[in-house]
Amino acid sequence: MRTFILLMIIGCGIWWGYTRWYSSDPAITNPIENSEVSADTPEPVAPEEIDTNGSKVISHQQFEVQSLRSQLATDPDDGTRIRLAQALLATGDADDRGQAIGLLGSLEKSNSELAGTARAILMRESSDHLQSFFAHKILSTGTNSPGYGESCYLVAEEIGIQDDASAVKSWKLLSEAYNSSDENSWRQPIRMRLRDLIEHWVLSHRLFTMCSMATVVSGDSLFKIAKENKVSIDSLRSLNNIRGDTIHPGQKLKFLTGEVYAVVDKSDFWIDIFIDGKWLLGYPVGHGKDNCTPSGVFNVDILQKKPMWQPRDGRTPLEYGEEGNPLGERWIGFEDSATHYGLGIHGTDDPESIGSEVSEGCIRLKNEDVVNVFPWIRMGTKVYVQD
């Protein structure tokens, strides 16, 4: 009996010493038993590879999915549902994709604030009739809906420009798509569609609902018709393929009315011309060296063909065509103010300067481009210059 008791005492002593040594070594402390996390503890970062059982490797995407599933289990938040759906889609796995679509579909039909976000993702992930369904649904919810610009583009592509009615709708939709983002990578393909539409329906001799017609009567002149309809003589010439000023009674003249304004994006070296909010023309530009072209809103107060150049520093003016005159074929001058003087838009004989900062502050286009822009600019036209 004494031997048994003695053995028990020795055994307890050995166990007590072992546990004291084991728990004091931070390298082998059980992480689960010491899992208290403060509010400042950072979220776990997915490693390059996670070997959970000696053979199975978990990718970054799978690690994120597992983390989001755990988070969603403890906090069923719609934002986490969106993130989980996006993570599932990113894995490229068919089953994961099905789960993501299911999550998004449930959220899209709910009254959640993120229903619109789910709808936009579903539109991007769908094809054919489903994509069209979501695009039309997004359009019906208003301009502030997620995915609105993409929806405008998709519906416009669906409508086409085959006839007058479809061209009218597509012009508006493509313009709204264009204005939904100022990213050049987004705008470039839309610009190509708009150019096709504009060249075929607007800036041509074809009848078009968005354009008006005037019938010339005895005593009419281009000047009179332009003044009555608040358009420029050059726009009448351009739309009706008229050289000179001769018109005849009974002749029908096409013209385009509306509020014209220009937007210059310095970072993209680009100018867009809009009429009543719809895109009309766009060309690459150059502007001031060392970013000296000021940003702001400017009013056009002078329009000149074959302009003379008056240097700001008092040097002798240079006539059109003289060497050293930088203004090219057209001058569209801005109203002077306390902060700027002598600024405007003009042509250039140096096309290599387009797309760079080389001018003394003015915005320059290639000569052929400024000639195309000129007919649509009038006195008082606003020019928005943005960084």
Pairing outcome for strands 270-275 and 278-284? antiparallel
Record the tokens describing residue 20, joined without a space: 């004291």
User: What's the distance, CA 274 to chain centroid?
Assistant: 16
Q: Which of 194, 197, 204 is nearest to 161 (CA)?
A: 197
Whether 346 sits among the annotated catalytic residues: the reply is yes
Distance CA 252, CA 216 (A): 6
- The residue from 60, 200, 248, 346 that is catalytic is 346
Q: Give the single-character DSSP code of 219.
A: T
Q: Tell me which long-range contacts 44-50 makes (C-beta under 8 A, separation of at least 24).
A: none
Distance CA 368, CA 184 (A): 22
Q: Which of 336, 325, 361, 331 is nearest to 346 (CA)?
A: 331
Distance CA 256, CA 211 (A): 5
Whether 200 sits among the annotated catalytic residues: the reply is no
3-class state of residue 368 by DSSP = helix
- Asked if residue 264 lies in contact with residue 385, where contact means CB atoms within 8 angstroms, the answer is yes
318 contact partners, CB below 8 Å, separation of at least 6: 308, 309, 311, 324, 325
Active site residues: 346, 362
